[in-house]
Copies of this chain bind each other. A is one copy, B any other.
Amino acid sequence: MQILKFSQPDFDEKFSILANRGEMDMSEVMPKVASIIAEIRKSGDKALCEQIARFDNWEPKSGSQLKISTDEMKQAWDKTDEKLKEALKIAYERIKAYHEKQIEKSWLSYEKDGAVLGQKITPVDRAGLYIPGGKAAYPSSLLMNAVPAIVAGVGDISVCTPAVSGEVNALLLAAMHMLGIKNAYKVGGASAVAAMAYGTDTISKVDVITGPGNIYVATAKKMVFGDVNIDMIAGPSEIGVIADSSCNAHNIAVDLLSQAEHDEIASSFLITFDEELAKEIEAEMMSVLATLKREKIARASVENKAAIIIAMDKAHAIVLANELAVEHLEIATNDAWEYLPHIKHAGAVFLGHFTPEAVGDYLAGPNHTLPTGGTARFFSPLGVNNFIKRSSVIAMNEKTLRELAPACMALASAEGLGAHELSIKVRQ
């Protein structure tokens, strides 16, 4: 694990490598993804079935075999352990309650001059949710993508998830039942993104595609962007923790590892201005690491991607956290709320000693789909906002238009747009 101290001569250089960790090199996979997209656009379901046979170890014969029936979902729900059903319901209710607070209202402003101006909010007609599958099937990802779409009022929601050997994770199916998903398909990767972006006989063309995925999914989302909207382009998961001597070193070590266990290329950053604490947390990490079921993944992540950063003081720690702009930022100090006004760039901020990042992954309420790799500088958590769009509303009356005419005509004339000018003039 890399340890960087503010006073070392190459600190800025090494820290800037961490801060610029985000760039994804899509050049290698892009030609492959381009040909997957081209095949789907040309041959629809037929291409989908062929691609699944190539990548997912089963051979659907036709588009209809890709559809997951609502019966399958119900059966999976019925077979689900009661404790898990209850957990899913709690998560659903809390995520729903949070996202309902994000609903943006349409508004109209009746101006003094008689004009009416406004902004109308409308849900998109159709949303497509991509949920990764295979070994790591995450029902929580389905909840986090579906609930904001449901809350936004999207009428038609499609879900695509890969079915390795034709099988879909039972808990994912159960979650589909709980959420009332009607249209779900056993399709993964770039194929799924292409099918939802352009439509096939089986899968409807959608307006917005959201959801996490590997480099193929990320590249496909970037390539279809503009023909549909997408939520963001997400890379490997990451955590940053600002901790001081008030924290429990063991707990923070576990939190850092909870990110490392996701992926060999996940990143965990500890920022502290207490060098003793840094050593203690490092030792705790190494000792807990050996006890994890996913030790191998977590160890690779810790060895290659983790960093302990010793800041000069609290103010410096905040500067560094903002420069890292991490996906998850825990502030494990007694005065965590004091930090919040100064945190500019982070996907989600977890305050205090009783807010481990995992609670946000499942059921705190806010979305767990968050900007990674420093993109919290400009991307936002997935939310209701991703499933709506705005239309401006303008209504002038004869008097208002007359008052504005001289200025409007002057500008149109200066830009050389005669018909624009004329369209005001003819109404005088």
Interface residues of A in 373-428 (CB under 8 A from B): 375-381, 383, 385, 389-398, 400-401, 404, 406-408, 410-412, 414-424, 426-427
Residue of B nearest to A34 (CB): B27
Q: Quick check: is A189 within 8 A (CB to CB) of the other chain?
A: no
Q: Is the interface of A mostly helix, strand, loop or mixed?
A: mixed
Q: Assembly of this chain: how many copies?
A: 2
B84 touches A254 (CB 8 A): no
Task: Tell me which residues across on chain B come within 8 A of A90, comparing CB atoms.
Answer: 404, 407
Q: Quick check: is A119 within 8 A (CB to CB) of the other chain?
A: yes
Q: Quick check: is A311 within 8 A (CB to CB) of the other chain?
A: no
B294 touches A391 (CB 8 A): no
Q: What count of chain A residues pass the 8 Å CB interface test?
A: 126
Pick the contact of A394: B140, B355, B404 (CB < 8 A). Answer: B355
Task: Tell me which residues across on chain B come within 8 A of A136, comparing CB atoms.
Answer: 415-416
Type the 1/0 row for A250-274, where 1 means its CB is closer than 8 Å to any CB of B.
Answer: 1100110110111000000000000
Q: How far is the CB of A142 from chain B (nearest CB, A)?
A: 11
B392 touches A140 (CB 8 A): no
Q: Quick check: is A276 within 8 A (CB to CB) of the other chain?
A: no
Task: Tell me which residues across on chain B come within 8 A of A104, comparing CB atoms.
Answer: 104
Q: Quick check: is A115 within 8 A (CB to CB) of the other chain?
A: yes
Q: How far is the CB of A171 from chain B (nearest CB, A)?
A: 6
B395 touches A351 (CB 8 A): yes
Residue of B nearest to A226 (CB): B233
Binds B, one of A59-67, A178-186, A360-368: A360-368
Interface residues of A in 101-133 (CB under 8 A from B): 101-102, 104, 107, 109, 115-117, 119-120, 122, 124-125
Q: How far is the CA of A401 from the CA of B358 in the complex (A)?
A: 11
Residue of B nearest to A346 (CB): B391
Task: Tell me which residues across on chain B come within 8 A of A87, comparing CB atoms.
Answer: 406-408, 410-411, 414
B389 touches A377 (CB 8 A): yes
B397 touches A389 (CB 8 A): no
Task: Tell me which residues across on chain B come within 8 A of A138, comparing CB atoms.
Answer: 415
Residue of B nearest to A113 (CB): B94
A383 touches B390 (CB 8 A): yes
Q: Quick check: is A1 within 8 A (CB to CB) of the other chain?
A: no
Q: Quick check: is A96 within 8 A (CB to CB) of the other chain?
A: no
Q: A117-B98, A349-B120, A378-B229 are in contact. Are A420 and B125 (CB under 8 A)?
A: no
Q: Can you offer 16 A-B residue contacts whose CB atoms are under 8 A?
A: A90-B404, A117-B366, A229-B375, A251-B426, A251-B427, A254-B419, A254-B423, A258-B420, A355-B394, A355-B401, A357-B423, A358-B423, A359-B396, A364-B404, A370-B392, A380-B391
Q: Which residues of A contact B (CB under 8 A)?
A: 22-24, 83-84, 86-88, 90-91, 98, 101-102, 104, 107, 109, 115-117, 119-120, 122, 124-125, 136-140, 171, 207-208, 222, 225-229, 232-233, 248, 250-251, 254-255, 257-258, 260-262, 288, 292-294, 298, 336-337, 340, 343-367, 370-371, 375-381, 383, 385, 389-398, 400-401, 404, 406-408, 410-412, 414-424, 426-427
